[in-house]
Structure 1
Amino acid sequence: MTAAAKPLAGLKVIELGTLIAGPFATRIMAEFGAEVIKIESPDGGDPLRKWRKVYEGTSLWWYVQARNKKSVTLNLKHPEGLAMMRRLVADADIVVENFRPGVMEKLGLGWDALSALNPGLVMLRLSGFGQTGPMAAQPGFGAIGESMGGLRYVTGFSDRPPVKTGISIGDSIAALWGVIGTLMALRHREINGGRGQVVDVALYEAVFAMMESLVPEFDVFGFVRERTGNIMPGITPSNTHTTKDGRHVAIGANGDAIFKRLMHAMGRADLADDPSLADNAGRDARRDELYAAIDAWVAAHDEAAVLAALAAAEVPASRIYSVADMFADPQFLARGMLETVKLPDGRDCRVPGIVPRLSDTPGSTEWIGPALGEHNDAVLGGLGYTPEQIAALRAAGAL
């Protein structure tokens, strides 16, 4: 698919971010056609290049997080590096940065300076605590946002300390809000005279926005939601159960009709037809009894038999997938959720497919995460720099 066929084609994005939140936001933009120019320090670039599992000197995560992006190295402490940065911003649509508030201003690249240079610019600013407030200048990573935003407090079992999810979910949630806000700002620019604006995303607020009924329940009832393991009181039955062969199966049967089908599949017509269990409130009042019955039934059968019976009864259920399960799953494969790319040494490598799936203008992988400074000559040449000038800038330490 050509970039012109993608929904964000024609947008120029300058990324001044490292690691997760900012780069994940721009990854989405790049997957759907935006020209994303990732500005990296000449001294090693984004630390994500070396995070987690490294193959032939480069993180496999990097190849996903930076796909479709152009890597340009600029030394923003060098006057010529800053001059090149301003030239890039002059005709950009979006700047994405996830520095601590105040860093961009110290570089002379704050909102006032950049919007004066380019009034139509949209600036996405991702930080731990936002651009204002008493904590704005403090450092904050996803783990802190998850903790302050309420997610960690409710995650885990009541008799154990809070636990984290297995991924950097706070950063990723913030990135998604950032993309949403940026697209809103672009729409506003389109219909209101071409003026850009700042999109200010705080990691703790991004997580906090996902916390469902947490706030009104506390305000009205003084109720503090606590850790409840794999169940959620008030929504019954929805839980994880262990099969005879030691596998774990999630079953969601909290709909009235679905609950009846589950009980019949288990051979428990008595529970299916019990009028006191006809709605969620009644089931939740007897959740311990219901979970004990489901536990016993699941524990008496192997995983395959449990899943087959629930599929036949049209009850939502799934094994708890590892990545190995995903690689063998027909649904993942049928929808292209495991995409094959070539690593620099020619080795095939599977990476996640692109979400969301658009019917007419889907996203695609045009290239995997680039080498450090791979696009210096092409991007700077597009700004009018000659090869000789680029070589001189490199020799001067500006690149």
Structure 2
Amino acid sequence: MTNPESAPALSSLRVIELGQLIAGPFCCQLLADLGADVIKVEQPDVGDPMRSWGVVHDEKSLSWNVIARGKRCVTADLRTPDGRDFVLELVRQADVVVENFRPGTLERFGLGYEVLSEANPKIVLTRVSGYGQDGPYSSRAGYGSIGEAMGGLRYLVGDPDRAPSRFGVSLGDMLAGVHAAIGTLAALRARDTTSVGQVVDVSIYESVLAMTEALVSDYAIGGITHERSGAILPGVAPSNVYETADGELLLIAANQDSVFGRLAAAMGRPELAASDEYATHIARGARQAELDVEVEKWTRSLSTEDVLNALDEHSVPVGRIYVARDMLADEHFKARNSIVDVPDDILGSVPMQAVTPRLSKNPGSVRWGGSEHGAHDTEVREWLASLRDPAEPSV
């Protein structure tokens, strides 16, 4: 039996996941990673589309294996009375319901918040959608990419001489998932005081907007529109990608005054940090392009390892630009177990990112990868039956 003092932090939490694809399920992945019992409900005829998205190996999606990890998978047709009754029976034993349907869909299933809270007044309903549960756009279909565009990030990504680029991952959806997890935990903390649940309303575009720093204020007060700037941030120098003699690209970030002084010393050019042209953050920002030329002259004169060693010796932030191959080989990743091997009945063992954040006393874990469609139907229904009054009808 697990010691309660060292059990995963959310091991007493039960979550019913009614969503699909990424935003809602990523919220539930985070909760499951920290120990929550997440019961994922899918349609009996066809499961979550994520089961076939991304890279598929031996007929199993690796994306599914990650986002559905640690979840118990059951089936129920929410369009039928039996499916609705099954969900309500789960809700009576749960703390949280997470859904990311278009607003109004849950109500059409007869599972709106009023119905759920009548079944369990303590239930927290976390709702993730493109535009939120109200407002003139609420009924629109909204994918993560649209949220990235509307929330202001997509305009900023890429080089200034071409159309905006996209991120290589579903960032908008995942940001919404992170905010949904935060909102869920905040609502549960409030429930500790009130003993009453509530609705957590998370929109993708607002989750993206929350990450844009002072973008709105800079325009409203200063009349400044942030533009695409490629590998740099305008006025922040030196902070860029620089080529070495090996042809490898390194990211060096030495824009703070004291750090730039250390970079100049590592370059054998201490006079740069003392000169009026480069002594301050503002001065370096005004001469960003010419300073980048000076830094790259130095990096191109040395091997990658020599640059890394010199900057490490002088405590200047520097790093390779990693792909998965680099992560799997890196000694720091290995020392911290940043990537864990998760056993899988079909694939054998699947490396994937470990749980974050790390808790010193009640850490989470990746208990298993994404399960087969309906894998836990019998287990969950037998568990519900054991809790049911013998006079109640079965579901």
TM-score class normalised by the smaller sequence: over 0.9
The farther-off stretch of 56-65 and 145-154 is: 56-65
The farther-off stretch of 107-116 and 170-179 is: 107-116
1:22 is matched with which residue: 24, 27, 37?
24
Distance 1:85 1:2 in 2: 29
Q: Give the letter aligned to residue 90 of structure 1.
A: R
Deviation, 1:234, is 2.9
* 3-state DSSP of counterpart to 2:319: strand
Q: Give the letter aligned to residue 371 of structure 2.
A: P
Q: Give the letter aligned to residue 348 of structure 1.
A: S
* 3-state DSSP of counterpart to 2:367: coil
Distance 2:245 2:14 in 1: 55
Q: Give the letter aligned to residue 75 of structure 2.
A: T
Q: Give the letter aligned to residue 313 of structure 1.
A: H
Q: Give the letter aligned to residue 140 of structure 2.
A: Q
Distance 1:13 1:78 in 2: 22
Counterpart of 1:389 in structure 2 is none
Deviation string 1:359-389 (CA, Å, 9 cap, x unpaired) is: 1111112222111111111111111179xxx
Conservation of the 8 A alpha-carbon contact between 2:176 and 2:203: yes
- For the pair 1:336 / 2:315, whether they are aligned, the reply is no
- For the pair 1:324 / 2:325, whether they are aligned, the reply is yes
Conservation of the 8 A alpha-carbon contact between 2:235 and 2:285: yes
* 3-state DSSP of counterpart to 1:167: coil
Q: Give the letter aligned to residue 222 of structure 2.
A: F
Counterpart of 1:390 in structure 2 is none
Q: Give the letter aligned to residue 357 of structure 1.
A: R
Deviation string 1:2-36 (CA, Å, 9 cap, x unpaired) is: 49501111111000011111111001111111110
Counterpart of 1:79 in structure 2 is 81
* 3-state DSSP of counterpart to 1:38: strand
Deviation, 1:345, is 3.3
Deviation string 1:189-243 (CA, Å, 9 cap, x unpaired) is: 101x211111101000000010011011101111100000111113222111122
Q: Give the letter aligned to residue 383 of structure 2.
A: G
- For the pair 1:42 / 2:44, whether they are aligned, the reply is yes
Query: How much is the aligned-residue C-alpha RMSD, in angstroms?
Result: 1.8
Counterpart of 2:137 in structure 1 is 135
Conservation of the 8 A alpha-carbon contact between 1:3 and 1:33: no
Distance 1:256 1:358 in 2: 34
Distance 1:280 1:188 in 2: 43
Counterpart of 2:279 in structure 1 is 278
Matches within 5 A, 1:152-191: 152-191=154-193
Distance 1:242 1:276 in 2: 24
The farther-off stretch of 102-111 and 287-296 is: 287-296
Conservation of the 8 A alpha-carbon contact between 2:91 and 2:116: yes
Q: Give the letter aligned to residue 377 of structure 1.
A: T
Conservation of the 8 A alpha-carbon contact between 1:170 and 1:207: yes
Q: Give the letter aligned to residue 350 of structure 1.
A: P
Counterpart of 1:234 in structure 2 is 235
Q: Give the letter aligned to residue 247 of structure 2.
A: G
Conservation of the 8 A alpha-carbon contact between 1:24 and 1:65: yes
Unaligned runs of 5+ in 2: 388-393
Deviation, 1:245, is 1.8
Conservation of the 8 A alpha-carbon contact between 2:344 and 2:368: no
Deviation string 1:36-60 (CA, Å, 9 cap, x unpaired) is: 0000111221111111111221101
* 3-state DSSP of counterpart to 2:79: coil
Counterpart of 2:391 in structure 1 is none
Q: How many residues align?
A: 389
The farther-off stretch of 341-350 and 38-47 is: 341-350
Matches within 5 A, 1:201-350: 201-345=202-346, 347-350=348-351
Q: Give the letter aligned to residue 189 of structure 2.
A: R
TM-score by length of 2: 0.95
Compared with structure 1, are the counterparts of its residues 326 and 3 closer, same or farther at alpha carbon in structure 2 (3 Å cutoff)? farther
Compared with structure 1, are the counterparts of its residues 3 and 119 closer, same or farther at alpha carbon in structure 2 (3 Å cutoff)? farther
Deviation, 1:275, is 4.1
Counterpart of 2:363 in structure 1 is 362
1:60 is matched with which residue: 59, 62, 82?
62
Distance 2:12 2:365 in 1: 16
* 3-state DSSP of counterpart to 1:241: strand
Conservation of the 8 A alpha-carbon contact between 2:70 and 2:370: yes
Conservation of the 8 A alpha-carbon contact between 1:68 and 1:365: yes
Distance 2:122 2:369 in 1: 30
The farther-off stretch of 261-270 and 338-347 is: 338-347
Distance 1:140 1:2 in 2: 42
Distance 1:155 1:258 in 2: 27
Distance 1:166 1:3 in 2: 41
Matches within 5 A, 1:364-383: 364-383=365-384
Counterpart of 1:199 in structure 2 is 200
Compared with structure 1, are the counterparts of its residues 353 and 3 closer, same or farther at alpha carbon in structure 2 (3 Å cutoff)? farther
Distance 2:125 2:165 in 1: 34
Compared with structure 1, are the counterparts of its residues 244 and 154 closer, same or farther at alpha carbon in structure 2 (3 Å cutoff)? same
Q: Give the letter aligned to residue 220 of structure 1.
A: I
Distance 1:9 1:353 in 2: 17
TM-score by length of 1: 0.94
Q: Give the letter aligned to residue 120 of structure 1.
A: K
Distance 2:94 2:343 in 1: 30
Conservation of the 8 A alpha-carbon contact between 1:336 and 1:353: yes
Distance 1:161 1:245 in 2: 31
Unaligned runs of 5+ in 1: 387-392
Counterpart of 1:147 in structure 2 is 149
Deviation string 1:242-293 (CA, Å, 9 cap, x unpaired) is: 2222211101101111101101111222212214533211211121221111
Task: Give the ranges of 4+ consecutive aligned residues of structure 1 lying more than 6 Å apart after TM superposition.
Answer: none
Q: Give the letter aligned to residue 64 of structure 2.
A: W
